[in-house]
Structure 1
């Protein structure tokens, strides 16, 4: 039994452990109707403001709720658990999101090592583990408090010996480890998507902070923009982990993900608006997906993005970091397109009602984005972690 396993054994009730195991044994998509109904009832019969053990039950089972209207993408990715985790960091959600990112990556690394040690790994295990270890080290090295030189690694080490923080990170890992299938390769996909969601939030949050502080606190703005660059580069490194999947390995679970399309990601679209501005070509897409309709609101469309805020900056440090951020995000979009082109068979419909790689390709370049003029447009929407 690993340390993480023994921690969870102590944190969960017998009923909660059974609920978690039931969702993992065959994968959520293969639950029997009666099993899914029983798990949904565990959530829906508890009060919304449940605390203590009841709160944990709701975290474990929210994605199966019959009462809540939850888009498939959010049923799949369990972003509500990340939202819960970040609510515990009201004063510094950036540090909280980086800690959540590290927890997600190291949990995947544990799963990969266990599969490798027992000879159950389907392939590329050593390379995947190495890449995961490299990304985790890069996250640990990020400085979140330049004055006190506090790094994410310091927060990780504190969480390991702090009962409260240890409980929070253990629950974050436990309540988000739910693939749709019983295929090992799905874990790397699920965890990569969850890691990217944290990074989308981080880039957006930091972009908003930079825009708000560049005049009055230029040094802080420069530091936060450099952190945004680091987060954008991490997107590329996470994608490197994802690319250890083969197309055949991807297809072992792809059909089980159903309509859980990243097109539904609020964090991603909001990040792009905060950095580049509103893309009119997405108006119809936003309008057709209920929870994305808020992104068509006039105040969101009129948001002044970071690209416009820094367009004529005379601060060489800000200018250099802006170009690095734009370059890193552009590389990530290019990688996303190449993944879609390589891994999505042309004869299969794409999830989310799009035309797959062709859809992704249309938005690789940001020339069509329109910069709004209101520096407060879309706030406070753009400041928080978004999920539905």
Structure 2
């Protein structure tokens, strides 16, 4: 398996932490020997109940293999706890923090792919993949996160490189989330794409909630937040474009290693859809079947007034245009997701998460079954933060 260049990461890790990372990456987490997995789990669980102490990096590196914590398989796979830790550093501006995390993730994958290309181990699609990753990374850097001051994410990236604490956090974000379950090169692309999508689901949800909250008193700010949500939805499609550089055969080389780590379990995805379109009663059974999703059937969440309803009668041309563009971009992503499931998952292969694969995805491509609540603050605590278990 190809790994990213060490770059500056090593100076933020002890020798033991570097060995912990190497052990989990060497053959992939699914291929750890039982004694190795036991040792890593014991290491993490010895840090409880204070995983953020002096051994913070060790806790981040090993949380996914804990035996004491009840962590759904999807979150053991995606390491989203590290993104949550990273975003805790941006309590006043989580949107900028999430875009910086997105840039860090894309850049790390780009370095992996370029290293594989130079080494001659990159798949045939490598050149196209690198071009698409380059395009997505440039697009993130160019994203304006503060329209008043014209601050772009590229400015924050440069600032992070010069700030010792932020440099440490971005380095650890990259290092502590690069853990495929196999030694197959293509799994790097899949895992990073899933992590990027999770970050973008959060961003679109957060920006949708902000748009709804600001549209009456501060319409210009609401329009700016909605336009940024449109940019994020476009980036969601760019990430899917990178993912489609895999062949179905390449996908199947590692697919079995992911086990029960199904995206059906994603809190960020389901809450994004609720924030944008409203509660979908067809998903009630799905939510009840997954322990950590049951909260999405709560009456407060069902009562949430989504962005679609909030902007249905708006007279503001910027908001009307922004909503049309966001809806179109998200529809494109859902259609792409369905085509990916249909193309990459053979019809005789059971889908992870207990669903019927492409048929399940197709059922929710259209959003006309969603029910808009009347409370703009319904379930707001759940619908605001970055979510993981």
TM, length-normalised to structure 1: 0.98
Look up the match of 2:334. Answer: 333
Task: Give me the whole-angstrom Cα distance separating, in 2, the residues matched to 1:4 and 1:212.
Answer: 43
Look up the match of 1:43. Answer: 44
Residues 232, 6 of structure 1: alpha-carbon distance in 2 compared, 3 angstrom cutoff: closer
Look up the match of 2:70. Answer: 69
Q: Per-residue deviation at 1:91?
A: 0.3
Q: Which runs of 4+ in 1 moved over 2 A?
A: 47-53
Deviations 1:291-331 (CA, angstroms, capped at 9, x unpaired): 00010000001100000000000101100100000000000
Q: Per-residue deviation at 1:49?
A: 2.6
1:385 maps to 2:386: yes
Q: How does 1:266-285 map to 2 (within 5 A)?
A: 266-285=267-286
Q: Per-residue deviation at 1:50?
A: 3.5
1:263 maps to 2:248: no
Q: How does 1:188-337 map to 2 (within 5 A)?
A: 188-337=189-338
2:249 alignment partner, SS class: helix
Q: Per-residue deviation at 1:53?
A: 4.0
Look up the match of 1:354. Answer: 355
Q: How does 1:142-157 map to 2 (within 5 A)?
A: 142-157=143-158
1:31 maps to 2:45: no
Q: Per-residue deviation at 1:47?
A: 3.0
Work out whether residues 87 and 98 of structure 2, in 8 Å CA contact, stay in contact via their aligned partners in 1. Answer: yes
Q: Per-residue deviation at 1:3?
A: 10
Deviations 1:249-278 (CA, angstroms, capped at 9, x unpaired): 000000000000000000000000000000
Task: Give me the whole-angstrom Cα distance separating, in 2, the residues matched to 1:225 and 1:337.
Answer: 25
Task: Report the more deviating stretch, 317-326 or 9-18.
Answer: 9-18
Deviations 1:305-358 (CA, angstroms, capped at 9, x unpaired): 000000000101100100000000000000000000000011110000000000
Residues 333, 47 of structure 1: alpha-carbon distance in 2 compared, 3 angstrom cutoff: same
Q: Per-residue deviation at 1:160?
A: 1.5
Task: Give me the whole-angstrom Cα distance separating, in 2, the residues matched to 1:381 and 1:352.
Answer: 23
Work out whether residues 27 and 179 of structure 1, in 8 Å CA contact, stay in contact via their aligned partners in 2. Answer: yes
Task: Give me the whole-angstrom Cα distance separating, in 1, the residues matched to 2:233 and 2:7.
Answer: 35
Q: Per-residue deviation at 1:158?
A: 1.1
1:5 alignment partner, SS class: coil
Task: Give me the whole-angstrom Cα distance separating, in 2, the residues matched to 1:296 and 1:313.
Answer: 29
2:91 alignment partner, SS class: coil
Look up the match of 1:342. Answer: 343
Work out whether residues 4 and 170 of structure 1, in 8 Å CA contact, stay in contact via their aligned partners in 2. Answer: no
Task: Give me the whole-angstrom Cα distance separating, in 2, the residues matched to 1:51 and 1:295.
Answer: 29
Task: Give me the whole-angstrom Cα distance separating, in 2, the residues matched to 1:3 and 1:266.
Answer: 29
Q: Per-residue deviation at 1:6?
A: 4.1
Deviations 1:145-177 (CA, angstroms, capped at 9, x unpaired): 111110000001111122111111000000000
Q: Per-residue deviation at 1:122?
A: 2.1
Structure 1 regions of 5+ residues with no counterpart?
none
Task: Give me the whole-angstrom Cα distance separating, in 2, the residues matched to 1:191 and 1:303.
Answer: 31
Work out whether residues 233 and 326 of structure 2, in 8 Å CA contact, stay in contact via their aligned partners in 1. Answer: yes
2:185 alignment partner, SS class: coil
Work out whether residues 274 and 303 of structure 1, in 8 Å CA contact, stay in contact via their aligned partners in 2. Answer: yes
Structure 2 regions of 5+ residues with no counterpart?
none
Task: Give me the whole-angstrom Cα distance separating, in 2, the residues matched to 1:39 and 1:78.
Answer: 15
Task: Give me the whole-angstrom Cα distance separating, in 1, the residues matched to 2:50 and 2:29.
Answer: 25
Task: Give me the whole-angstrom Cα distance separating, in 1, the residues matched to 2:373 and 2:52.
Answer: 42
Look up the match of 1:11. Answer: 12
Task: Give me the whole-angstrom Cα distance separating, in 2, the residues matched to 1:175 and 1:354.
Answer: 30
Q: Per-residue deviation at 1:85?
A: 0.2
Work out whether residues 5 and 112 of structure 2, in 8 Å CA contact, stay in contact via their aligned partners in 1. Answer: no
Task: Give me the whole-angstrom Cα distance separating, in 2, the residues matched to 1:267 and 1:51.
Answer: 24
Q: Per-residue deviation at 1:36?
A: 0.4
1:234 alignment partner, SS class: helix
Task: Give me the whole-angstrom Cα distance separating, in 1, the residues matched to 2:8 and 2:140.
Answer: 23
Work out whether residues 52 and 59 of structure 2, in 8 Å CA contact, stay in contact via their aligned partners in 1. Answer: no
2:314 alignment partner, SS class: coil
Residues 366, 48 of structure 1: alpha-carbon distance in 2 compared, 3 angstrom cutoff: same
Q: Per-residue deviation at 1:124?
A: 0.5
Task: Please provide the CA RMSD for this pair.
Answer: 1.1
